[in-house]
Amino acid sequence: MAISFSLQELISIVAPSKTKGSLNETSITGIAALTEAQPGDLSFLGNLKYTTDVPKSAASVVILPLEYDGEPNANQLYLFVEKPSSVLALICGQIEQRLWQRPAPGIHPTAIIDSTARLGNNLHIGPFCIIEAGAEIGDNSILEAYCHIGRDARIGTDNWFKPRATVTDYCVTGARVKLFIGAVVGGEGFGFETVNGAHQKIPQVGNVVLEDDVEVGANSTIDRARFATTRVGKGTKIDNLVQIGHNCQIGQHCILVSQSGMAGSTILEDYVVLAGQAGLAGHLRIGKGARVGAQCGVLSDIPAGAVVLDSPAVPLQTAKKLMVLKMRLPDLFKRVDTLEKTIETLSQPK
Amino acid sequence: MAISFSLQELISIVAPSKTKGSLNETSITGIAALTEAQPGDLSFLGNLKYTTDVPKSAASVVILPLEYDGEPNANQLYLFVEKPSSVLALICGQIEQRLWQRPAPGIHPTAIIDSTARLGNNLHIGPFCIIEAGAEIGDNSILEAYCHIGRDARIGTDNWFKPRATVTDYCVTGARVKLFIGAVVGGEGFGFETVNGAHQKIPQVGNVVLEDDVEVGANSTIDRARFATTRVGKGTKIDNLVQIGHNCQIGQHCILVSQSGMAGSTILEDYVVLAGQAGLAGHLRIGKGARVGAQCGVLSDIPAGAVVLDSPAVPLQTAKKLMVLKMRLPDLFKRVDTLEKTIETLSQPK
Amino acid sequence: MAISFSLQELISIVAPSKTKGSLNETSITGIAALTEAQPGDLSFLGNLKYTTDVPKSAASVVILPLEYDGEPNANQLYLFVEKPSSVLALICGQIEQRLWQRPAPGIHPTAIIDSTARLGNNLHIGPFCIIEAGAEIGDNSILEAYCHIGRDARIGTDNWFKPRATVTDYCVTGARVKLFIGAVVGGEGFGFETVNGAHQKIPQVGNVVLEDDVEVGANSTIDRARFATTRVGKGTKIDNLVQIGHNCQIGQHCILVSQSGMAGSTILEDYVVLAGQAGLAGHLRIGKGARVGAQCGVLSDIPAGAVVLDSPAVPLQTAKKLMVLKMRLPDLFKRVDTLEKTIETLSQPK
């Protein structure tokens, strides 16, 4: 990867409060963790638990918090700032703009666009994309290769879809929505009625609406509603391989970590977090700001602000207490053995 | 979404036993839950736990069970039927036929079809599909965009594959099979022998057979057998992001909910249900009609008709009892503390 | 599937130490498990627990371990070898070479290859593949249909990518890497900073490196690093629907079974095994050769060689003991009830 900053550029981005040491090199060509950095690399102390790695680092430049107290090695430059990880994000933002540039506007000749589709201005539509009849794509949106937009779907402005993203018929996205590779928005809901021993599909005639600033990770799947709408609220971020069942209602600014899943019709209020591999039964309501732990199995409603763990889910404090007691079970069994022996002795006629 | 029914049409579909109230509007333009319906919408009472939502609903038309006792608001029509959810399915079926019409027969010019492939009559083959040498596609089947059918694969009649479905070499589907977006039928099995510290692939030379009426959800993966066949029985429905390992044998009319997974060579007899995120070890037999709960981890055979929960799985009654006792552990520890103190007092010489 | 071996060929592959019985047929046309084999099939006894299935098998030829003591049926041939499953792998390897031949070299006319891409010799590049600017493909590599190689990505020699595999910008693969259908190498990492209540993406400017002989299963997702590299070590095999978060460092010869997941920055040393649906929190170190059980939830570092189970993970021995005690909880509650009654009796003044 062709990261390259002149020392001057770097210092102008970092804007350090003070510096220590000096460097012969005049450019930085990589970023790495403290212990893995080589000469030519930039590194940083983002978490104080790695403080002892600083003096051992071979990085040419190290971004450090103001309170760090130590001297650089020879040919090494320390840059002191208030919040190293924010400064790193700034630098990475610069790199992103250079190395992951927005594709230029234009429609690839292999894209298949129905004549009734309504295309906004300044679009990038990549190779092998398909846009079906009646679909609408908002201004400044990017559809990378192999994206598929269904009939009468409406894509907002400034969307960015990575390769192989799918938005099926009648689904809608707001502004600045990002879909990652292989994301499926509007899969058919999974609902059956069993008639004479065979599972008959219940028609699934709703859609999916993703509000502004939603992101959906690679190979995640969001099913369209049985009727009406499966909705993902403004600013909610969904990681890879997540499943959202039909008719779920997800509030604003939620976070759904990888491999979590929601059965149908469950509601997340705003600012809910589902950690990795968490699973929610259907028809539940998870209150505002609740946090559902990794691998947690949720079978009933959760009040606003609660933190739950375990499967089935219990409040964090209960889960922690039960975990401690569980580890003390072997001891408890021994104590009961002892009690029984003692009682037997006491009960014997003297 | 352009749902629109004239009131007349709607009443002829619903065929109500009786009606109450009257409506100025002459058409219905949406379906929504009771609490979310707006004027112009149809709603329904499918589950009696929502009965109190009925009088508050702004829906123009509400489908109600015969036993519902209440009066409509002004400009609101109640339609009484025996089973509102079946009637809703009827209506949705009508909508589905209008809004998700079968694609018309025809082969898109961008599809790449080997000259040795045998194509049935009345096929729809969408853009960017690929059909490899020797493959066979049965009459009336639909392959939407980007579908890939491997060498010598045999696709039955009336199949409907959504975009990006894959059926690899030598795999076979029965009649009326549905594959959803990104489903992978016939991935390479995951089997290795470790030789001198390196994992050597064990060749995987079997196939996958999906019998009649099987459905496979978005981005789910079914591996081909090490030898012989990984089989999914007639009428079995598989949700999104499900994993089926090589050589699994799945019976008829099973249900595999999202994110469940089966390791290699495990057998599901007919009518087994795997709830969401359930996981089954390899080489097991799950008896007819058994139900495996959400997030359940199954490490041994399960008898027919059993219901299991927890990880590792235990029978439902045991799981419930253990869950109750687990929640009473803090109390149990206190009781043992008390017993020990009492015993100590009793044991002391008086 | 057109498996066909003449008996002569078969015997020359098997090289049996001794044989019993005789066969009228002169060819073998299938492989099946003992209980499912039909005349014309080859079967084998790979696991002694199936020994009683041998005399009942209708297979024409059965490969048996030397110590098997029994007589074939009429028109049935037993071939005795030291290790039947190794011999079966040999036969399957022959079948694989016949039925899953390497695609011939050549570039399909529908592939879109940037003029600045550097292509090695003897490549197969399938229909609808895309190779972006500056990408490099090593000699003898195979990209089946719809593969997408990002800008400046570097693909090693003898790679084999199944349809729809994606390697994003700047990512790198070693020699003999295999990607299965829908695998995503280099998805965008999932990292946000919450600013005024909205989740701002932290730029993700690293890449993914897959070392030699790595395999990645169908629809699995590997995120690129926040900076530097998400690395998968030589010989590591990853199953279907697995998630690897940004900046993970996976050692050599690890095995990650289906639906397992690793949060960001976690380290697997060499020879670690993650069983199905296991989940690892971020920033952990899992020691060399450690084994993480199915559905295990790992929240802290694991020492080399350890075997852990349960969620949260505990050592195998502890997990087994706790499982036994858990099943004895109902009894323990009764014992404490009894103790309390006894004590009450003893405490009463006589």
Catalytic residue among C199, C246, C253, C283: C246
Q: Which of A179, A188, A200, A320 should we substitute to test contact with B (largest number of B Cβ atoms within 10 Å)?
A: A188
Chain A's closest residue to B219, CA to CA, is: A219
What whole-number distance in Å separates Cα of residue A72 and Cα of residue A78?
6
Check if B32 contacts A (Cβ < 8 Å): yes
Pairwise CB contact (< 8 Å): C340 & B336:
no
**End-to-end alpha carbon distance in chain B:** 86
- State residue B47's pLDDT score: 85
Chain B residues whose CB is inside 8 A of the C327 CB are 314, 318, 322
- C343 chain-B contacts, CB cut-off 8 A: 339, 342-343, 346
Residue B195: burial class (beta carbons within 10 Å; 0-12, 13-18, 19+): exposed
Whether residue A253 and residue C326 make contact (CB cut-off 8 A), yes or no, is: no
Token pair 């969620």 in the structure block, residue: C311
Under an 8 A CB cutoff, do A187 and B181 touch?
Answer: yes
- Measured CA to CA, the distance from residue C130 to residue C110 in angstroms comes to 9
Residue B346 has a pLDDT of 84
What is the least distance, in Å, from the CA of A315 to any CA of chain C?
Answer: 15
Chain C residues with CB under 8 Å of A346 CB are 346
Q: How far apart are CA A126 and CA B128, in angstroms?
A: 14
Q: E strand or H helix at C14, and its extent?
A: helix C7-14
Inter-chain residue contact A326 with C322, CB threshold 8 Å: yes
Nearest CB to B92 within list A110, A203, A343? A203
| Residues of A known to be catalytic | 246
- Tell which of C28, C125, C181 to mutate to test the B interface (max B CBs under 10 Å): C181
CA distance C16 to A251: 66
Candidates B124, B199, B246, B253; catalytic one? B246
What DSSP assignment string belongs to C47-79? SGGGGGGTTT---SEEEEETT------TTEEEE
DSSP string, C265-305: T-EE-TT-EE-TT-EE-SS-EE-TT-EE-TT-EE-S-B-TT
Q: Residue B30: phi, psi to the nearest 5?
A: -165, 165
Contact status of A327 with chain B (Cβ, < 8 Å):
no
What residues of chain B, 179 to 198, have a C-beta less than 8 Å from chain C? 182, 184, 187-188, 190, 192-194, 197-198
User: Mean pLDDT for chain C?
Assistant: 95
Rounded CA separation B146/B148 (Å): 6
Q: Tell me, what's the pLDDT at C4?
A: 85
- The secondary structure element, H or E, covering residue A62 is strand A61-65
**φ and ψ of B84, to 5 deg:** -55, -35
Contact yes or no for C308/B308 (Cβ under 8 A) = no
| CA-closest candidate to residue A294, choices C316, B238, C260 | C260
Q: C332 and A333 in contact by Cβ < 8 A?
A: yes
CA distance A144 to A140: 13
Q: Would you tell me which residues 249-308 of chain B have a C-beta closer than 8 angstroms to some C-beta of chain C?
A: 259, 261, 263, 277, 279, 281, 295, 297, 299
State percent of chain C over pLDDT 90. Answer: 90
Q: How many CB atoms lie within 10 A of CB B326?
A: 19
- Quote the CA–CA distance of C237 and C68 in Å, as a whole number: 34
CB-CB neighbors (< 8 A) of B239 in chain A: 190, 243
Q: Is the dihedral of CA C73, C77, C81, C85 positive or negative?
A: negative
Tell if the CB–CB gap between A259 and C259 is shorter than 8 Å. yes
* Residue B204 to residue B188: CA distance in whole angstroms: 6
Which two three-digit tokens encode residue B211? Answer: 């019998």
| pLDDT bracket for residue B350 (50, 70, 90) | low
Task: Kindly state the DSSP code that residue A36 receives in the 8-state scheme.
Answer: T
User: Rounded distance, CA C329 to CA B15, Å?
Assistant: 56
Interface subset of A 209-228, CB within 8 angstroms of C: 213, 215, 217-219
Instruction: Report the residue from C2, C110, C235 with minimal CB separation from B198.
Output: C235
CB B70 within 8 A of CB B57: no
C-alpha C334/C-alpha B39 separation (Å) is 60
Q: In chain C, which residue's Cα lies nearest the Cα of B193?
A: C86
Q: B8: number of CA atoms within 13 Å, CB side? A: 0
Q: Is B135 exposed, middle or buried (0-12, 13-18, 19+ CB in 10 A)?
A: buried
Region B195-206 average pLDDT: 92
* pLDDT above 70: residue B1: no
For the sheet containing B221-223, what is the strand order?
A: B112-113, B130-131, B148-149, B166-167, B184-187, B221-223, B243-244, B261-262, B279-280, B297-298
Q: Which residues of C touch B293 (CB under 8 A)?
A: none
Are A281 and B294 within 8 A, CB to CB?
yes
Q: Closest chain C residue to B197 measured between Cα atoms? A: C253
Contact C252, C234 (CB under 8 A): yes
Nearest CB partner across the interface for A228, out of B36, B110, B182: B36
Q: What is the mean pLDDT of residues B102-125?
A: 98
Q: And the tokens for A343?
A: 């009682």
Amino acid B21 reads: G
Is residue B49 very low, low, confident or very high in pLDDT (cuts 50, 70, 90)?
confident
Which ranges in A61-129 belong to alpha helices (H)? 84-99
- Contact between chains at C92 and B203 (C-beta distance less than 8 A): yes
Burial B29-55 (b: 16+ CB within 10 A, else e): bbbbbbebbeebbbbbbbeeeebebbe
Contact C188 A180 (CB under 8 A): yes
Q: Any idea where the domains of chain A sit in the sequence?
A: 5-99, 106-317, 318-347
Q: How many CB pairs under 8 A join A and C?
A: 164
From the list A220, A262, A275, A218, the residue with the least C-alpha distance to A242 is A220
Q: Are C222 and C208 in contact (CB under 8 A)?
A: yes
Give me the long-range contacts of A83-86 (CB less than 8 A, separation at least 24): A84/A44, A84/A45, A84/A46, A85/A44, A85/A46, A86/C193
Chain A CB contacts of B253 below 8 Å: 194, 197-199
Closest chain C C-alpha to A195 CA, distance in angstroms: 32
Q: What is the pLDDT of residue A4?
A: 85
Q: Are B60 and B44 in contact (CB under 8 A)?
A: no
Task: Say if residues C150 and C168 touch (Cβ distance below 8 Å).
Answer: yes
CATH architecture of A106-317: 3 Solenoid (2.160)
How many CB atoms sit inside 10 A of residue B61's CB?
Answer: 27
Residues of A in contact with B98 (CB under 8 A): none
Q: Which chains touch C (3 or more CB pairs under 8 A)?
A: A, B
CB of C17 closer than 8 Å to CB of C29:
no
Are the CB atoms for C288 and C306 separated by under 8 Å? no
Q: Among all chains, which residue has been given the structure tokens 């570097």?
A: C154
Put residue A326 in one of left, alpha, beta given phi > 0 → left and psi -120 to 50 → alpha: alpha
Residue B49 phi, psi (nearest 5):
-70, -15
- Residue C319 sits at φ, ψ, to 5 deg, of -60, -45
Interchain contact B204–C (C-beta under 8 A): yes
Distance from CA of B158 to the nearest CA of A (A): 16
| Rg for chain A, CA atoms, rounded | 27
Q: Give SS3 for A219.
A: coil
Query: Which residues from chain C sit within 8 angstroms of residue B343, using beta carbons?
Result: 343
Min Cα separation B219/chain C (Å): 7
**Contact criterion met (CB below 8 Å) for A180 and C187:** yes
ipTM of the complex: 0.94
Q: What are phi and psi of C151, to 5 degrees?
A: -55, 130
> Are residues A277 and B277, on separate chains, in Cβ contact within 8 Å?
yes
Calculate ∠ Cα C323-C325-C330, nearest 5°: 115
Predicted local distance difference test score (pLDDT) of residue A1: 58
- Predicted structure pTM score: 0.96
Residues of A in contact with C335 (CB under 8 A): 336, 340
Tokens (6 digits) for B44? 């329904």
Tokens 């070898």, residue located = C81
- What does the pLDDT read at residue B83? 92
CA distances from C145 to B145, C98, C168 (A): 13, 21, 16
Chain B positions touching C271 (Cβ under 8 A) are 197
Distance from CA of A121 to the nearest CA of B (A): 24
Q: How far is CA A247 from CA A9, A224, A263, A268, C196, in A?
A: 50, 7, 9, 12, 29
CA atoms within 13 A on the CB side of C18: 7
Give tens-digit pLDDT for B148-160: 999 999 999 999 9
Question: What sign results for the dihedral spanned by CA atoms C46, C52, C53, C56?
Answer: positive
Pairwise CA distance, residues B219 & B208, whole Å: 16
**Residue C124: active-site member:** no
Q: Cα dihedral sign for A80, A86, A90, A92?
A: positive
Q: Which chains touch B (3+ CB pairs under 8 A)?
A: A, C
Backbone region of residue B213 per phi and psi (left: phi > 0; alpha: psi in -120 to 50; beta: other values): left
**pLDDT in 10s for each residue of chain A, 350 residues:** 567 889 999 999 999 999 999 999 889 999 998 998 999 999 999 888 889 999 999 999 999 999 999 999 999 999 999 999 889 989 999 999 989 999 999 999 999 999 999 999 999 999 999 999 999 999 999 999 999 999 999 999 999 999 999 999 999 999 999 999 999 999 999 999 888 999 999 999 999 999 999 999 999 999 999 989 999 999 999 999 999 999 999 999 999 999 999 999 999 999 999 999 999 999 999 999 999 999 999 999 999 999 999 999 999 999 999 999 999 999 999 999 999 999 888 887 76
Chain B residues 116-175 with CB within 8 Å of chain C: 128, 130, 146, 148, 152, 164, 166, 168-170
With cut-offs at 50, 70 and 90, classify the pLDDT of residue B186.
Answer: very high
Is residue B176 very low, low, confident or very high in pLDDT (cuts 50, 70, 90)?
Answer: very high
Check: CB of residue B62 under 8 Å from CB of residue B40. no
Identity of the amino acid at B25: E
Do residues C124 and C143 make contact, with C-beta atoms less than 8 angstroms apart? yes
Residue in A259, A209, A263 with CA at minimum distance from that of residue A236: A209
Q: Return the residue in A258, A308, A328, A348 with the most chain C beta carbons within 10 A, the one to mutate for interface testing.
A: A258
Q: What is the pLDDT of residue C269?
A: 98
Low-confidence spans in chain C with pLDDT less than 50:
none
CATH class of B5-99: alpha beta
Nearest Cα neighbor of B309 from B318, B321, B296 is B296
Per DSSP, A348 falls in state S
Sign of CA dihedral C116, C117, C118, C119: negative
CB C187, CB C168: distance < 8 Å: yes
Alpha carbon distance B166, C84 (integer Å): 33
The answer to whether the beta carbons of residues B43 and B35 sit under 8 Å apart is no
**Chain C residues inside the 8 Å CB shell of B192:** 237, 255
Distance from the B37 Cα atom to the nearest Cα atom in chain C, whole angstroms = 30
